[in-house]
């Protein structure tokens, strides 16, 4: 009976399959919690700033009160961090995922088109689909280490194109998009170009094209506290764009989604620049350890990355599923890339760990590969 009521768009949607949790693996394989190495969800292995805890405890007494929809202290700290005016920033309370959803609800009518080059972050497709968009796929070119095929975007632009998603560094491939390519796309369309910088702090330039959002009317930069700041559990993401885009989105965004606790977490995180730079430096070092270690296996092809994870192609006779299963039995969680559209072949994605976790992971790999 209920089925008749449900929107067709929702019926055709497959439930989201998140990375495996520690708890799940401990139960299934009967392992000790200390033996689990979680390299599956691009989290920060060094946690978050230690200064957050005390600030959070202080805020608990205020939990009976609604949060401010826009927290001026947070906006000021974030504006300083990015060196952009606060009028150009929107902060969302379910991470960058909320910003993506708000974009859809602000700009996309049923039948409008959204361009997504693949393989990439699956949330763009899921959100676009739910909101009734027709999706046109571009591609990151496997033959060129997943470099963005700019023509695959330009050829798909039509009168109905509303949003184009560019992810740099791209998830799950790890490679950046060249600035000249972003520029070319921006200047070839009136559609909104979303540049997802979720991992930009792990690349050479932590701002990259963020400030272009002040010059281009049709650019929105997407960023998050989930990765470099280690706050995936607090669910805070943000967008940077021209004021008009921000103002329309603010009409649509869930008013109180940024809770008192997440506001406090982000303010404390932004004030602890020491942790930020520690996390960046260690993260890049961990990526280099893993890259060098993985490169030694002739059965594996590891792709260069500017993010906090590495894409690895499996070139022995195992499927990515079998490979992940062997790792799981030994307590290691990585991401099976089977569910990424446009990634044909056998791939896994490995997130950075602490140096000790990296070392143990590489040791365990020897066991499986040879």
Ligand X SMILES: *Cc1c(COP(=O)(O)O)cnc(C)c1O
Site for ligand X, rule CB under 6 A: 42, 95-97, 121, 167, 171, 196, 198, 224, 226, 232, 237
Q: Which is nearer to ligand X, 161 or 308 (CB)?
A: 308
Minimum Å distance from CB 35 to ligand X?
26
Minimum Å distance from CB 363 to ligand X?
28
Q: Which is nearer to ligand X, 198 or 332 (CB)?
A: 198
Residue with tokens 């764009």, as numbered in its chain: 241
Q: Which is nearer to ligand X, 284 or 362 (CB)?
A: 284
Q: Which is nearer to ligand X, 97 or 357 (CB)?
A: 97
Minimum Å distance from CB 95 to ligand X?
2
Minimum Å distance from CB 106 to ligand X?
17
d(CA 44, CA 308): 8
Contacts 24+ apart (CB under 8 A), 326-332: 326/368, 327/364, 327/368, 328/20, 328/25, 328/28, 328/29, 329/29, 330/364, 330/367, 330/368, 331/25, 331/29, 331/31, 331/35, 331/36, 331/37, 331/364, 332/36, 332/37, 332/39, 332/361, 332/364
Q: Which is nearer to ligand X, 95 or 331 (CB)?
A: 95
Q: What residues are paired with 95 via a beta bridge? A: 93, 236
Q: What residues are paired with 118 via a beta bridge? A: 139
Minimum Å distance from CB 305 to ligand X?
13
Of 191, 135, 118, 193, nearest to 161 (Cα)? 191
Q: Which is nearer to ligand X, 121 or 323 (CB)?
A: 121
Which residue, judged by CB position, is nearest to ligand X in the bound state? Answer: 95
Helix (H, G, I), strand (E, B) or coil at 319: coil
The structure tokens listed for 76 are 């000021």
Residue 186 phi/psi, 5-degree rounding, is: -55, -40
Minimum Å distance from CB 337 to ligand X?
13
HSE of 102 in the Cβ direction (CA atoms, 13 Å)? Answer: 27
Q: Which is nearer to ligand X, 121 or 212 (CB)?
A: 121
Q: Is the dihedral of CA 78, 81, 87, 92 positive or negative?
A: negative
Minimum Å distance from CB 170 to ligand X?
8
Residue with tokens 């997130």, as numbered in its chain: 351
């Amino acid at each position: 009976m209920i089925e008749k009521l449900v929107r067709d768009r929702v019926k055709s949607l497959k439930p989201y399959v998140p990375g495996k949790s520690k708890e799940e693996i401990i139960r299934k394989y009967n392992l000790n919690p200390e033996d689990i190495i979680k390299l599956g969800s691009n989290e920060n292995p060094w946690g978050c700033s230690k200064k957050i805890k005390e600030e959070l405890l202080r805020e608990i007494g205020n939990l009976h009160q609604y949060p401010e929809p826009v927290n001026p202290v947070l906006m000021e700290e974030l504006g300083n961090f990015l060196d952009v005016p606060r009028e150009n920033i929107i902060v969302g309370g379910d991470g960058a995922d909320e910003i993506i959803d708000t974009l859809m609800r602000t700009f996309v009518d049923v039948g409008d088109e959204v361009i997504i080059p693949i393989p990439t972050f699956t949330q763009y497709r899921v959100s676009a689909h739910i909101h009734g968009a027709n999706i046109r796929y571009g591609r990151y070119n496997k033959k060129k280490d997943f470099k963005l095929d700019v023509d695959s975007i330009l050829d798909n632009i039509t009168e109905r194109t509303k949003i184009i998603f560019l992810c740099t560094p791209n998830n799950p491939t790890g490679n950046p998009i060249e600035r000249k390519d972003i520029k070319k796309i921006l200047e070839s369309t009136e559609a909104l170009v979303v540049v997802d910088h979720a991992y930009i702090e792990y690349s050479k330039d932590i701002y990259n094209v963020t400030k272009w959002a002040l010059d281009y009317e049709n650019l929105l930069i997407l960023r998050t506290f989930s990765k470099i700041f280690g706050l995936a559990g607090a669910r805070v993401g943000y967008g940077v764009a021209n004021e008009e885009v921000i103002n329309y989105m603010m009409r649509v965004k869930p008013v109180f989604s940024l809770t008192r606790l997440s506001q406090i977490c982000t303010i404390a995180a932004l004030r602890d620049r020491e942790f930020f730079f520690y996390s960046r430096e260690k993260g890049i070092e961990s990526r280099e350890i893993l890259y060098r270690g993985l490169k030694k296996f002739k059965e594996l092809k590891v792709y260069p990355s500017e993010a906090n994870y590495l894409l690895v192609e499996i070139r022995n006779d195992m499927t990515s599923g079998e490979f992940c299963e062997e790792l799981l039995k030994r307590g290691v969680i990585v991401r099976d890339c089977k569910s990424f559209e446009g990634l044909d072949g056998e791939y896994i994605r490995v997130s950075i760990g602490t140096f000790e976790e990296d070392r143990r992971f590489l040791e365990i790999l020897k066991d499986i590969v040879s």
